[in-house]
Amino acid sequence: MLELLAYLHDSELVARFQRRCGLFLVEAAHQSRDRTRAPAATPVHSDGPRGQVKGKWDHQDKNSNYEYKENGHTVSGCSTPQYEVRNWLLHFLFLVSAGLGHEIFYITCLPCIHWSLDPFLCRRLVNMWTLVMYIGQVMKDVLKLPRPLSPPVVKLETRVDAEYGLPSTHAMAATAISFTVLLSAQSRFQFQFEVGLLIALTVSSLVCLSRLYTGMHSVLDVICGALISAVLLLITYPYWETFDHFQLRSLISPLVGFSLPLFLSYTYPELDHYSTTRGDTTTILGVAAGCSVGYWVDEQLGQTFEPQGALPVPLPALTAAAVARSVARFLVGGVALVGTRQVVKTLSLQVLYSWYRVPKSDDSARRRREIEVPYKFVTYTAVGLVNSILVNRFFVLLGLL
């Protein structure tokens, strides 16, 4: 069993998958006997300091490494991985799939389920997403298993390289989101369960495979992430209705919905070096707190914006008018959430920098717990409140519902 676990956690297994998909380290490409060198006029790509892809017409034999000091400890990683892409279709497919686990997806596409489909489904999604992500992030920082090594692996996302690897929270979130929608939508909409199951399996599988392609997780990380999420779904599924009733109707629901995520944010496990896990977890918990309070408020006001008619209702028809309204809701809602995020983030940082007497030019100060946790929690609690309470009311005023 230990040998199997070691094999599944091996970096070379990830590198072989990348090569099968057409992604090569330049150094590995030079040493390959089958198509040893890239043909003339074949670009080699480098991730710049902000993650953008840049074309180059030469080769470099080694990755450029970086080191920096954080809390007295040296953190190192790969800043400009040199690689070449030989299958652009898979490259873009896996990059898009990996994006389904990033903040830009959560802050735009997930709320669209609330705005254009069913707030009930969005509420279930936020609850399960928060649970699996919190457990996954904590497990990473408790188990402290490293990510794949580069070389031999090409790492395409250097922002999270300081995080630990097991389990893959992308795999956990993709599994939880896909199957929470599938299980919850049965009682709300008329659709073929087999088609929904195929879509859920496809989406979750693509996200899982994207974590191997981007070089950020081992096979063991991905398998464990998907399995842990599946177990959590099985354990919690019988209690979803009970939790719905508590969240929407209990008088202590707003207090629990706000104070529990705040407590979990401040008690997040400390590491001996800085990583993005605490901040990302606080972001998720803040969204959950804001949405939970917002759903309770909507229920008390009797304005839940749910589908009208006897359930399950037919899926909305994809007419030109319906698509246009959905696009308009996406644009208005996206501006509202992003605008809320920017305003509250700026104000909260100004208050905290002033309170702790930190120079406003010191961007590294926001990594300190006494600044990072409150500013992220307040910011994303506000985002959750705006999403769950105000945005649909904007749509009513604008005639978009």
Active site residues: 170, 217
- The closest of 179, 169, 176 to 133, measured between CA atoms, is 169
The structure tokens listed for 242 are: 């009970």
Gap between the Cα atoms of 285 and 293, Å rounded: 12
